[in-house]
Amino acid sequence: MSSPETQIPAAQTSTRKLTMVEALREALREEMRRDERVILIGEDIGVEGGFGGAFTVTLGLAEEFGHRRVIDTPISEAAIAGVAAGAAAGGLRPVADVQYGDFLFIAMDQLANQTAKLRYMSGGKISVPMVMRAPVGATTRGSQHGQSLEAFFTHVPGLKVACPSNPYDGKGLLKTAIRDDNPVIFFEHKLLYGSKGARKEAGGIEVLGHVPEEEYLIPFGHAKIARPGRDVTIVANLLMVHRSLQAAKILAERGIEGEVIDVRTLVPFDWDAVVESARRTHKLIIVEEDNLTGGWGAEVAARIGDVCFGHLDAPIRRIAAPDTPVPFAPIMERFYIPSTETIVATAQELVSNY
């Protein structure tokens, strides 16, 4: 069910405004201080005078924890995933990362054939408590550096999949992922890291979130109602949560109240939250940056269609990227990524015609 823990009573805790990068870095630092088994593995994550990984998330951690726990690797994603899996099976809690999520394909055997299956194949005797962080999303870097890969990993039993849209969720979900005894693929959208800093992305959004100074965790499988509404349910993840919220604001000015659900995690998925909302609004739109065919939205549409058919007044609509590689030209990329305008038009069509 949707989770209430994002409501932070001012009297009980103090907060700061952090970017996604700052929140993720704080999560890593806190977990490394709490548990000496937590190590970091990746390319350029601890280079002296470097960026702190491709997007500065690990900046300063090598100086605090040393290179025995912040381990730079060669350019080999297969090796990164394999070492992380072996370290996890041997009792550590590695947090590995790749510079771009697209490179996870190089490590698919380690992730899908080894990491995901070891606990099941050993009858629970071997656990693989590792996290694989992966930046995703189109950012004018072309077909091999801008894909959204969530659907590939939701299809692999044994893996959990997280996809935070804001700093508060980013920190809470990453801390939960590190403490989980199962492998977690942790997707981070590059445009949500921020528009400032040494490795800013063109078109980045400066998403600032109120993040408590006190310890907190966000459980997997608890979606968040980012905006309540009565007329249409809009389900989204990562950058598309922000596009959906923008659309909902425009729709409200036109007399249509859209309910925006941030799924937070795709595995496990909060089916109860989506079912309850769809039964109440009678209309459902799913928004994702992944390609339309075989995306995670297709699974949501199929399952909600099964259990909510009698409650829906209109066809379920999916808004996604075309079934083409990610284009490089900025004008084509803007056409490729689902837009706020498309979400608005789709919601208006559903409410007006059904």
Domain match, 55 and 155 both: yes
Q: What is the pLDDT of residues 262-315, one digit of tens each?
A: 999 999 999 999 999 999 999 999 999 999 999 999 999 999 999 999 999 999
Domain match, 181 and 59 both: yes
Q: Is the dihedral of CA 246, 255, 235, 144 positive or negative?
A: negative
Whether 2 is covered by a domain: the verdict is no
Label residue 13 by pLDDT band (50, 70, 90).
Answer: confident
Domain tally, the chain: 2
Domain match, 170 and 237 both: no
The dihedrals phi and psi of 241, each to the nearest 5 degrees, come to -65, -45
In sequence order, what are the residues at sequence separation of 6 or more whose Cβ sits closer than 8 angstroms to the Cβ of residue 116?
A: 156, 157, 158, 159, 183
pTM of the complete model: 0.94
Domain match, 191 and 98 both: yes
**Residue 145 is among the residues annotated as catalytic for this protein:** yes
In sequence order, what are the residues at sequence separation of 6 or more whose Cβ sits closer than 8 angstroms to the Cβ of residue 120?
A: 157, 158
pLDDT at 7 (0 to 100): 43
Domain match, 244 and 207 both: no
Domain match, 296 and 270 both: yes
Domain match, 35 and 165 both: yes
- Compute the distance between CA of residue 196 and CA of residue 59 in angstroms, rounded to an integer: 15
109: domain CATH number is 3.40.50.970
Q: Is the dihedral of CA 136, 18, 52, 32 positive or negative?
A: negative
The structure tokens listed for 219 are 């459980």
Q: What is the pLDDT of residues 326-349, one digit of tens each?
A: 999 999 999 999 999 999 999 999
- Compute the distance between CA of residue 283 and CA of residue 234 in angstroms, rounded to an integer: 9
**Domain housing 273:** 224-353
235: domain CATH number is 3.40.50.920
pLDDT at 316 over 70: yes
Whether 218 is covered by a domain: the verdict is no
Domain match, 237 and 182 both: no
- Compute the distance between CA of residue 324 and CA of residue 108 in angstroms, rounded to an integer: 21
Domain termination residue (choose one: 186, 212, 238): 212
The structure tokens listed for 307 are 């259990």
- Residue of 67, 145, 189, 242 marked active site: 145
Domain termination residue (choose one: 212, 233, 254): 212
Whether 157 is covered by a domain: the verdict is yes
- Compute the distance between CA of residue 345 and CA of residue 18 in angstroms, rounded to an integer: 33
- Compute the distance between CA of residue 305 and CA of residue 286 in angstroms, rounded to an integer: 12
Domain termination residue (choose one: 184, 212, 240): 212
